[in-house]
Structure 1
Amino acid sequence: MSLESREALIINESDYDYIDYKGRKADPRRHGGVLAASLACIVELIQSLVFLGNNMNLVRYFLKYMHYPVAQSSNMVTNFVGTSYLLTVVAGYINDCYLSKLTAFVLYATIELLGVILLTYQAKNSNLLPPENETPSTFQAAILYIGLGAMAIGIGGTKATLPTHGADQLDHTKENLISSFFSWYYMSVTTAGILGATLMVWIEENCGWGWSLMISAILLCCSITIFSAGFPFYRGKKPSGSPLRRLIKVFLASNHNTNDTTTLEVHHSPKEQSYAKEKSYNKFKFLNKALNDDTIEVAQVEDTKAFLGFLPILATTIMLNCSTAQLMTFSVQQGNFMNRKIYNITITTQSISVIPLVVVLVFLYLFEQSKRFYGNNEAINKIYQPLVRMGAGLAVSSMSMAVAALVEYKRLKEFNEGNLMSAFWLIGQTLLVTSAEVFVVGGMLEHFYSKAPNGMKSISTALACCSSSMGYFLSSMLVTVCNSVSGIFGQAWIGGNDLNHDRLHYFYALLCFLNLINFMLFVYFARRF
């Protein structure tokens, strides 16, 4: 039997492995489907609104309410976001091993809700906030960190659960349906970003963080209620045990048989002889020796190879997230030194990002609709493939850094001549980097889910968020290294407190070059995949 036939058989058989929320065999006529998947998109919109709405302005809360210094506040935000994304991998592993998606989401969302309630109580109780010009006491800081920690656990858990849960509701023999789900899923995230940059930021600035956090708690209650309302319609699979244990078993068997001089003969076992006819045989060939072990099946080797194939693709997306983190940080600071007035009304720099987000949202909708007209055209259909979309996004990422460098160079020139450049010039770089993120993250979620082994769907899709986490942590390291190296030659590029006397455009140019190299590496690995 060919590998393609074996995969098709696995897909068809897997339809009978689904169960409902009571553990009974799922009925395809009652469980799953577009309606059940749509609920996941609605819940993700609410969840992302809470996360993005608070995250966009969280540094102001640390500065205004907790009175932390600027540098410490910025690092706290970066660490909070990075930790939230990093925990998706832990949650994905737990989901694949021990918890059903339904139980997992309710658990993680409840933990997040408890964290928000604790932060709300602190923000509304003056006794739990530090006096003016004083940093928090040990007890006050403990409440803050416990609340943020609970939020990070909940955010990481829900982001590891919702994408795979939604895709599990759909017919896996229809690839276009799975692709459409991830497009609509990311449209939900983009819509949440628009609402967060406008409504939530306005509430935080005009009504206070106590109201913002209280509204966040209400929204989380709504998300849990909406998700729970779909229990009778959902389908899912029982946890299949530790996926890492299966991978390690293949590695150990391969290493043992490679070092064993009695197993060096090519195609030593009948399983390996049969597997040699498949296309994937020549990928990670050192793992083929594991088939000489009677306890290792071809499917286990295939799963291990598939997961290993994800890692180079994952590595090439980190630079995009690093650029996104830097651009979001410095764009806000750039905007503070630019003209932000419209008819004598001064707007916030964060509000300018609404325009690119709306453009991207419209593009996503048109892109999804175009599949109905051109999806059956074999030549045009290639542009809808996840790896192609990811490559396009990484190329656009390099372009965004080039535009950012030119805009900053122009801003500095105007400043030195005594002029203020319009903040709306930031729209170009923001639009490009947002488009790049949509292409890459959306394609990565679809690719990792569709190609992941059956028992590793959650942890594989969680790798997309893990990339964001590593990008945030890498961004801090890049700034430190660049300042240290450039400082040796006279002046640190971004070492001061005033961008008007820094050399941010040099740093953007460096990121453009690194993204270009990264794009070429992606093309190499994608072709090999």
Structure 2
Amino acid sequence: MEKNEGCWVKGEDDGEEGNNKLQIWEGYVDWRRRPALRGKHGGMLAASFVLVVEVLENLAYLANASNLVMYLSKFMHFSPSRSANTVTNFMGTAFLLGLLGGFLSDAFFTSYHIYLSSAVIELLGFVILMIQARSSSLKPPSCDFATASTPCEEISGSKAAMLFIGLYMVALGVGGIKGSLPVHGAEQFDENTVQGRKQRSTFFNYFVFCLACGALVAVTFAVWIEDNKGWQWGFGISTAAILVSIPIFLAGSPAYRNKIPTGSPFTTIAKVLMAVITAPCVGRNTSNAVASIPTSPSTTQTTEADLMEAAQSKALVPTMTAELRFLNIAATKKSIHPALECTAEQVEEVKIVFRVLPIFACTIVLNCCLAQLSTFSVQQAATMNTKIGSLRVPPASLPVFPVLFIMIIAPLYDHVIIPFARRVTRTEMGITHLQRIGIGLVLSIVAMAVAALVEIKRKRVATDLGLLGSDKPLPITFFWVALQYLFLGSADLFSLAGLLEFFFTEAPASMRSLATALSWASLAMGYYLSSVLVSIINSATSTSKHKAWLSGGHLNDYHLERFYWLMCVLSGVNFLHYLFWARWYKYRSTRQLAY
């Protein structure tokens, strides 16, 4: 392998294997930066290490994120709305930083190195949070909202700084891992074979399955530990999970094939856009390389280089698609500067980015709905009867219902539903990525309608018993709230797996990490949108006679059912918007299977 960017060099001991191009994965290296070899690197074995690591990573993250709203309100004395916004901002930042992890994986480092550095940063963040949770001097004075005569003192100053430094170090680590780990696993398969593509599809399905496995331990065992033994133990579980995941990931190093970074994808995008913008500025005689070639060489001075340039320009035109044809100018017209000259391949790569962005945008409202699972839904359950017999279930353990459903349906989907769909449709995908995402959007609409009806029932019980302003648990089982968890969990299964595979398979090879990170960026934007909506709704509904919908010291003071109905309507409008773009979108290729 030739030297690439001054970093990636063929090893001296590669011998005959290095000279046999049939045995080398072109564009990939092993962990020692030697050429990756077929039969030795990549495959399901290498991807299996990634799946095990994802179980531990998601366990570490969700062990705290799913219950963080209770920690902030009970121990840091945040109000319900501020607790919810702090959690959504934290989780939104974590997922948005997945774009940074994806960018660095594509441009400068391998996904292998991005994962390792991100895991260390997340580990340090959990250590900081564990130390703070363990020491009472690093938290505000103890206070009970129900009995306190004055408002409880919120955390502030250096104590608050310690809290947020720990949280956002975790967010940075999570972002780097989310932006690199799924792509690292997907890159272990040969996309040039049907078997490799099928294995890659299976990997994405089981990646979501492993997310659920980690979440199951997080929302049951870890949450119980936090509520009954103390949050220092909860953060300790997360610390231990990340600490164990690092050597497991390293154990797979001899089997990994690591994609060589090809430079910043933003450079290609900026180059094409600048070429399009500046093309009209070029004079008429030089605006089109083809037109500048005279028809009669005897009458004008024409060099051989000019003729070759014209021939190349003509050859580029048929290779470019008709969609977004205004971008074709970048390759068919002469630029004002040689550095802005683009190839047809670069133009097509940028077109792909433009085509997937509307699909990305249509999933933000869905993830805004999912954000409620970590905020208001937990607070709803906390006001209800959470006992099953003599066992008290922590409210943050409610996600166990969608998690169990995902763990059942994910293998069933991969081994039964997809093979059947392939035979019926006679296509390699069976059920397309966009169809899976569409199913998730429909389920989110149903989930918000169910959530609104459950909140109406909960408030009616509180009103009838005169418990609106009381912290006494309502005599209504928390299983009612589990319904919205079930629908939203199902929506997450279909949408997340579909998005991850959609962005990975449709994106150019040089942009795959960044494109796949859009799945997590959509989650981030959903969490941010949730915070923005809460602020906008409170501002719009607050009058001199009426309180804002989502304000007050107790959840029973809120008009949460109205918020859920609004989310239901927004989700319905968003689905119609999605249908337009999904019908417009054309896949890069539709491969037919032979049976």
Please report the TM-score for the alignment, with normalisation by the length of structure 1.
0.91
Q: 1:115 aligns with which of 111, 125, 149?
A: 125
Name which of structure 1's ranges 371-380 and 151-160 shifts more when overlaid on structure 2: 371-380
What corresponds to 2:232 in structure 1? 210
Residues 124 and 412 of structure 1: CA distance in aligned 2, closer, same or farther (over 3 Å): closer
Aligned-residue identity in percent: 38
| Residue 447 of structure 2 corresponds to residue 368 of structure 1 | no
After superposition, what is the alpha-carbon deviation per residue over 1:259-282, rounded to whole angstroms, capped at 9, x for unaligned?
44627779866556545545x622
Residues 65 and 514 of structure 1: CA distance in aligned 2, closer, same or farther (over 3 Å): closer
What SS does structure 2 have at the residue aligned with 1:495?
coil
Residues 267 and 436 of structure 1: CA distance in aligned 2, closer, same or farther (over 3 Å): farther
Q: 2:435 aligns with which of 358, 372, 388?
A: 388
**Pairwise CA distance, 1:314:** 0.8
Q: 1:284 aligns with which of 321, 324, 327?
A: 324
**Pairwise CA distance, 1:411:** 3.0
Residues 69 and 336 of structure 1: CA distance in aligned 2, closer, same or farther (over 3 Å): closer
| Residue 187 of structure 2 corresponds to residue 165 of structure 1 | no
| Residue 550 of structure 2 corresponds to residue 503 of structure 1 | no
What SS does structure 2 have at the residue aligned with 1:17?
strand
In 2, Cα distance between the equivalents of 1:109 and 1:497? 38
In 2, Cα distance between the equivalents of 1:417 and 1:380? 58
**Pairwise CA distance, 1:373:** 3.9
In 1, Cα distance between the equivalents of 2:463 and 2:290? 71
Residues 463 and 68 of structure 1: CA distance in aligned 2, closer, same or farther (over 3 Å): same
**Pairwise CA distance, 1:47:** 0.4
In 2, Cα distance between the equivalents of 1:277 and 1:446? 29
After superposition, what is the alpha-carbon deviation per residue over 1:14-45, rounded to whole angstroms, capped at 9, x for unaligned?
94221111111111111000010111111011
In 1, Cα distance between the equivalents of 2:476 and 2:323? 53
In 2, Cα distance between the equivalents of 1:372 and 1:447? 16
Q: 1:314 aligns with which of 353, 360, 370?
A: 360
- Tell me, yes or no, if the aligned pair for 2:205 and 2:414 is still in contact at 8 Å: yes
In 1, Cα distance between the equivalents of 2:403 and 2:364? 22
- Tell me, yes or no, if the aligned pair for 1:383 and 1:389 is still in contact at 8 Å: no
What SS does structure 2 have at the residue aligned with 1:18?
strand
What corresponds to 1:5 in structure 2? none
Q: 1:407 aligns with which of 454, 464, 481?
A: 454
In 2, Cα distance between the equivalents of 1:130 and 1:338? 27
**Pairwise CA distance, 1:93:** 1.1
Q: 2:222 aligns with which of 185, 200, 210?
A: 200
After superposition, what is the alpha-carbon deviation per residue over 1:121-168, rounded to whole angstroms, capped at 9, x for unaligned?
333334434443555463333332222222111111011010100001
What SS does structure 1 have at the residue aligned with 2:35?
coil
Name which of structure 1's ranges 245-254 and 398-407 shifts more when overlaid on structure 2: 398-407
What corresponds to 2:513 in structure 1? 458
In 1, Cα distance between the equivalents of 2:539 and 2:450? 25
What corresponds to 2:396 in structure 1? 350
Superposed, 1:130-169 pairs within 5 Å as 130-133=140-143, 134-136=153-155, 138-169=157-188
- Tell me, yes or no, if the aligned pair for 2:433 and 2:499 is still in contact at 8 Å: yes
In 2, Cα distance between the equivalents of 1:332 and 1:125? 26
**Pairwise CA distance, 1:475:** 0.7
What corresponds to 1:239 in structure 2? 261
What SS does structure 1 have at the residue aligned with 2:384?
coil
| Residue 237 of structure 2 corresponds to residue 220 of structure 1 | no
**Pairwise CA distance, 1:249:** 0.5
> Residue type matched to 1:254 in 2?
V
What corresponds to 2:198 in structure 1? 176
After superposition, what is the alpha-carbon deviation per residue over 1:169-227, rounded to whole angstroms, capped at 9, x for unaligned?
11113332221111100111111111111011011112212222222222111110000
Residues 425 and 73 of structure 1: CA distance in aligned 2, closer, same or farther (over 3 Å): closer
Q: 2:537 aligns with which of 445, 469, 482?
A: 482
| Residue 381 of structure 2 corresponds to residue 335 of structure 1 | yes
- Tell me, yes or no, if the aligned pair for 2:184 and 2:258 is still in contact at 8 Å: yes
| Residue 78 of structure 2 corresponds to residue 31 of structure 1 | no
> Residue type matched to 2:416 in 1?
S
Residues 277 and 117 of structure 1: CA distance in aligned 2, closer, same or farther (over 3 Å): same
> Residue type matched to 1:385 in 2?
T
What SS does structure 1 have at the residue aligned with 2:423?
coil
- Tell me, yes or no, if the aligned pair for 1:275 and 1:281 is still in contact at 8 Å: no
- Tell me, yes or no, if the aligned pair for 2:328 and 2:347 is still in contact at 8 Å: yes
Residues 509 and 128 of structure 1: CA distance in aligned 2, closer, same or farther (over 3 Å): closer
**Pairwise CA distance, 1:258:** 3.7
In 2, Cα distance between the equivalents of 1:394 and 1:201? 29
Residues 408 and 13 of structure 1: CA distance in aligned 2, closer, same or farther (over 3 Å): farther
What SS does structure 1 have at the residue aligned with 2:548?
coil
Residues 215 and 472 of structure 1: CA distance in aligned 2, closer, same or farther (over 3 Å): same
- Tell me, yes or no, if the aligned pair for 2:138 and 2:159 is still in contact at 8 Å: yes
What SS does structure 1 have at the residue aligned with 2:268?
helix
Name which of structure 1's ranges 288-297 and 222-231 shifts more when overlaid on structure 2: 288-297
Superposed, 1:392-471 pairs within 5 Å as 392-418=439-465, 420-471=475-526
> Residue type matched to 1:152 in 2?
A
> Residue type matched to 2:163 in 1?
L
What corresponds to 1:524 in structure 2? 580
- Tell me, yes or no, if the aligned pair for 1:400 and 1:429 is still in contact at 8 Å: yes
What SS does structure 2 have at the residue aligned with 1:26?
strand
What stretches of structure 1 of length at least 5 have no aligned partner? 1-11
Residues 67 and 482 of structure 1: CA distance in aligned 2, closer, same or farther (over 3 Å): closer
- Tell me, yes or no, if the aligned pair for 2:423 and 2:430 is still in contact at 8 Å: no
Superposed, 1:56-135 pairs within 5 Å as 56-133=66-143, 134-135=153-154
In 1, Cα distance between the equivalents of 2:562 and 2:160? 38
After superposition, what is the alpha-carbon deviation per residue over 1:221-241, rounded to whole angstroms, capped at 9, x for unaligned?
111000001111100122111
After superposition, what is the alpha-carbon deviation per residue over 1:499-522, rounded to whole angstroms, capped at 9, x for unaligned?
445432222122111111111111
Please report the TM-score for the alignment, with normalisation by the length of structure 2.
0.81
> Residue type matched to 1:26 in 2?
A
Superposed, 1:236-275 pairs within 5 Å as 236-260=258-282, 262=284, 273-275=314-316
Residues 378 and 329 of structure 1: CA distance in aligned 2, closer, same or farther (over 3 Å): same
In 2, Cα distance between the equivalents of 1:384 and 1:204? 41
| Residue 99 of structure 2 corresponds to residue 53 of structure 1 | no
> Residue type matched to 1:139 in 2?
S
- Tell me, yes or no, if the aligned pair for 1:21 and 1:232 is still in contact at 8 Å: yes
Residues 492 and 144 of structure 1: CA distance in aligned 2, closer, same or farther (over 3 Å): closer
In 2, Cα distance between the equivalents of 1:343 and 1:68? 32
Residues 257 and 129 of structure 1: CA distance in aligned 2, closer, same or farther (over 3 Å): same
Superposed CA RMSD in Å reads: 2.5
- Tell me, yes or no, if the aligned pair for 1:271 and 1:298 is still in contact at 8 Å: no
What stretches of structure 2 of length at least 5 have no aligned partner? 1-21, 144-152, 292-309, 466-473, 586-595
Name which of structure 1's ranges 173-182 and 434-443 shifts more when overlaid on structure 2: 173-182
